[in-house]
Structure 1
Amino acid sequence: MDFIDLAAQYRALKQPIDKRIEHVLTTGQYILGYEVADFEAQLADYVGVKSCVSCANGTDALQLALMALGIKSDHAVFVPTFTFFASAEVISLVGATPVFVDVCPDTFNVCSDSLQAAIEAVHEEGKLVPKAVIAVDLFGLPANYPKLQKICEQHNLHLIEDSAQGMGGEINSKKAGSFGDISTTSFFPAKPLGCYGDGGAVFSKDSSTAELLRSLRLHGKGKDKYDNVRIGLNSRLDTLQAAILLEKLAVFSLERQRREQIARVYTAELSEVVDTPYIPAGYTSGWAQYTVKVEHREKLQAHLKASGVPSMVYYQTCMHQQTAFAQTNNYVEFSSAEKLTGLVLSLPMSPYLTEQDQQKVIYAIKSFY
């Protein structure tokens, strides 16, 4: 059993994917070919935003978003401490200062009370200018954007949505990737909408921001590629990856429904033995991961491994505990996040997970407890 069965997905989509790849190889348009613009348009339509600008990976997408918003050295950017390193890394890459905040123990997403306290503490200290919030749609569940938007409006902050894991998630039928002033995603193979390499995208609500992003992703391009009007990056989605993503996007809604069905089976069978994911009313998860909270995690993982069931821990170390951020000032406590690092365990999740494998996972966990 694979933790995420990408091979099964390819077998299901082999004919249309191979045809797309063959077309790119035949035309030879490997960089910013037709498929890139086509995919950007289709994904923008799916998410429900004005523009989608693709790039080389999800980390670049976040950095491009910060660059487009003019984030610089004297700015503070608030980010949850319970997330993947890239969410915080990009803040330092543009010269700004990450300010970590705690997360909610039930949704795993940024805690609005902790965020408010951190903003007020930075204001009171007076050394940094609070400028933006990066909210992460962890494990597929959108963050509490109604609350976050109010806080950002109150303090005149940009809201950036990191929906790398969020694709397919919704709040009251509004899709992940559409909540931030600017939003980003990743097409890393393990993501709900993943390619066969690296890829990413930035979503914007206006054409001027999209044009700025297109310049930034191509060395600060002006009227042509030899007219450089600003400092940018070399960050483009390969045409081959865009071609693959076009076919994956075509079945993405069906795959998300299948993830939902699997998640419901897990929850129905496991809720009496482990702490299963909490989905607030009106919210839908993209189920990038199905993550439970468990006791005796190391022993459980060993038992699962012996039973032929893979599992993963996202994440064992908070951002404020990382060596790279050892010198970063902390303004709030992180009691929920620090506790979660010792409890969370992600189970196999894929639209192509068979019923037999689902029951194998369920039986292995139940037999342990």
Structure 2
Amino acid sequence: MYVPLLDLKLQYASIRQECLAVTEKIYDSQHFILGPYVEKLEEEVAGYCGTRYAVGVSSGTDALLLSLMAAGIGEGDRVITTPYTFFATAGSIARVGAVPVFVDIEPDTYNICPQKLEAAVRRMDEKTRQSVKAVMPVHLYGQCAEMDPINALARENNWVVIEDAAQAMGAEYKGQRAGSLGDFGCFSFFPSKNLGGFGDGGIVTTNSDSYYEMLKILRVHGASPKYYHRYIGGNFRLDAIQAAIVSIKLARLDQWTQKRQENAARYRQLFAEAGIDEIIGCPLEKQDRHIYNQFVISAESKRDALRDFLQAAGVGCEIYYPVCLHMQQCFADLGYAAGQMPEAEAAAARTLAIPVFPELTEDQQAYVAEQIRSFCS
């Protein structure tokens, strides 16, 4: 049996006619950049996330970059974040001239650890502490970070809070949606996300009037009105086709999320029945609503061998992420060394994502579990 890590063709089949109809309207209109479809999606996403505003942008990476720019973060500033995430998180910090400061993660959620965050701040000298301007928690794999203590520390130190929610559209923390928990919420519409487009795209949420206006201005090269530039922005515009497709998918997102959650629960049951639940660590559901953008298991010291075994058996799987950000060559000048982020480094060595997409069948899941059981035995 072949079980892909993700099968977007199945999802597309369920919305094909709607997608073709709306894209034909856009082709006929010849209005491809921003416009009414983007405005419609912005209203829908703001409503879905429980925020006052949303601003459609060109990618999830640009959502992070634009938020940093709107917050005035730049050369010499420091931004605290996690070392265990996709590169864009720290890369966007470096691109505005700021310095990423890495804090280790919780071993069970893989999100930044609030206690270690506080300890790291307490160890800083006064000059370094004053240079920290923001914190960028990541809601990794579809589960929100522990935001109350993070926000409390941010208020104490006058930091901006930028949520990297690229993998967490619809996730919740104490009844609030991802994207509504900080000053900015940054989402990706990359096709493999739980809410993905037909190309690159993203969106930024905020409750701030001033940030909202700045996001819109910086999105179009800092112009307001057109051709008059008080600021240097960039080309961060979302196109109409991506907005229209994401809008169609957003209407079905809760239904797809429920299927992901059911699939996650079924894996737990299958692993328990196979007697491997103590060998294969499943994701912890710590917060209100884990939306399972990925289902990531922990395989201790045999992760790479398990990956090879599953791939040979036709099971799609992926390592997110094999090299922590503090160990990436481009950040060598920051002075981090192996062993400084033990939980993140352990996660990078042990974790493996297996299929959890909504259209996954029970037979396919049973096959995945059986192959893992076979490997463990």
Q: TM-score, normalised by structure 1?
A: 0.96
Instruction: Provide the rounded CA distance (Å) in 2 between the counterparts of 1:126 and 1:161.
Output: 22
Q: Decide whether the 8 Å contact of 2:121 with 2:129 is kept in 1.
A: no
Aligned position for 1:69 = 71
Q: By how many angstroms is 1:128 displaced?
A: 6.0
Aligned position for 2:352 = 345
Q: Decide whether the 8 Å contact of 2:183 with 2:208 is kept in 1.
A: no
Instruction: Provide the rounded CA distance (Å) in 2 between the counterparts of 1:335 and 1:125.
Output: 27
Q: Decide whether the 8 Å contact of 1:161 with 1:180 is kept in 2.
A: yes
Instruction: Provide the rounded CA distance (Å) in 2 between the counterparts of 1:132 and 1:93.
Output: 15
Q: By how many angstroms is 1:283 displaced?
A: 2.1
Letter paired with 1:8: L
Instruction: Provide the rounded CA distance (Å) in 1 between the counterparts of 2:117 and 2:278.
Output: 33
Q: Given the alignment of the two structures, is residue 363 of structure 1 paired with residue 370 of structure 2, yes or no? A: yes
Q: By how many angstroms is 1:74 displaced?
A: 2.2
Instruction: Provide the rounded CA distance (Å) in 1 between the counterparts of 2:248 and 2:295.
Output: 24
Instruction: Provide the rounded CA distance (Å) in 2 between the counterparts of 1:177 and 1:74.
Output: 27
Q: By how many angstroms is 1:336 displaced?
A: 0.6
Which ranges in structure 1 are unaligned for 5 or more consecutive residues? Answer: none
Deviations 1:235-287 (A, max 9, x none): 1111011110110001011111111100110122223441111111x521111
Q: By how many angstroms is 1:17 displaced?
A: 1.2
Letter paired with 1:230: Y
Q: Given the alignment of the two structures, is residue 306 of structure 1 paired with residue 312 of structure 2, yes or no? A: yes
Q: By how many angstroms is 1:359 displaced?
A: 1.2
Letter paired with 1:286: I
Q: By how many angstroms is 1:136 displaced?
A: 0.1
Q: Decide whether the 8 Å contact of 1:122 with 1:128 is kept in 2.
A: no
Q: By how many angstroms is 1:107 displaced?
A: 0.5
Q: By how many angstroms is 1:8 displaced?
A: 0.5
Evaluate the alpha carbon distance shift between residue 329 and residue 127 of structure 1 in structure 2; reply closer, same or farther with a 3 A threshold.
farther
Instruction: Provide the rounded CA distance (Å) in 1 between the counterparts of 2:323 and 2:359.
Output: 30
Aligned position for 2:105 = 103
Q: By how many angstroms is 1:221 displaced?
A: 1.3
- SS of the equivalent of 1:358 reads helix
Aligned position for 2:252 = 251
Deviations 1:127-171 (A, max 9, x none): 861110000000001000011111111222111100001112111
What is the root-mean-square deviation of aligned Cα atoms in Å? 1.5
Aligned position for 1:285 = 290
Q: Decide whether the 8 Å contact of 1:76 with 1:96 is kept in 2.
A: yes
Q: Decide whether the 8 Å contact of 2:327 with 2:336 is kept in 1.
A: no
Which ranges in structure 2 are unaligned for 5 or more consecutive residues? Answer: 272-276
Aligned position for 1:276 = 282
Q: Decide whether the 8 Å contact of 1:218 with 1:236 is kept in 2.
A: yes
Instruction: Provide the rounded CA distance (Å) in 2 between the counterparts of 1:283 and 1:206.
Output: 25
Q: Decide whether the 8 Å contact of 1:74 with 1:128 is kept in 2.
A: no
Q: Decide whether the 8 Å contact of 1:289 with 1:347 is kept in 2.
A: yes
Instruction: Provide the rounded CA distance (Å) in 2 between the counterparts of 1:125 and 1:343.
Output: 37
Instruction: Provide the rounded CA distance (Å) in 2 between the counterparts of 1:188 and 1:125.
Output: 39
Q: Decide whether the 8 Å contact of 1:273 with 1:366 is kept in 2.
A: no
Aligned position for 1:207 = 209
Aligned position for 2:236 = 235
Deviations 1:29-50 (A, max 9, x none): 1011210000010011000000
Evaluate the alpha carbon distance shift between residue 87 and residue 220 of structure 1 in structure 2; reply closer, same or farther with a 3 A threshold.
same
- SS of the equivalent of 2:334 reads coil
Aligned position for 1:261 = 262
Q: TM-score, normalised by structure 2?
A: 0.94
Evaluate the alpha carbon distance shift between residue 121 and residue 273 of structure 1 in structure 2; reply closer, same or farther with a 3 A threshold.
closer
Letter paired with 2:28: T
Aligned residues: 367
Q: By how many angstroms is 1:114 displaced?
A: 1.8
Evaluate the alpha carbon distance shift between residue 185 and residue 123 of structure 1 in structure 2; reply closer, same or farther with a 3 A threshold.
farther
Instruction: Provide the rounded CA distance (Å) in 1 between the counterparts of 2:312 and 2:161.
Output: 44
Q: By how many angstroms is 1:72 displaced?
A: 1.6
Q: By how many angstroms is 1:345 displaced?
A: 0.5
Q: Percent identity?
A: 38
Picking from 142, 146, 155, the partner of 2:148 is: 146
Q: What is the 5 A alignment of 1:1-369? A: 1-124=3-126, 126=128, 129-223=131-225, 225-270=226-271, 271-280=277-286, 282-295=287-300, 296-330=302-336, 333-369=340-376
Q: Decide whether the 8 Å contact of 1:314 with 1:345 is kept in 2.
A: yes
Evaluate the alpha carbon distance shift between residue 120 and residue 28 of structure 1 in structure 2; reply closer, same or farther with a 3 A threshold.
same
- SS of the equivalent of 1:284 reads coil
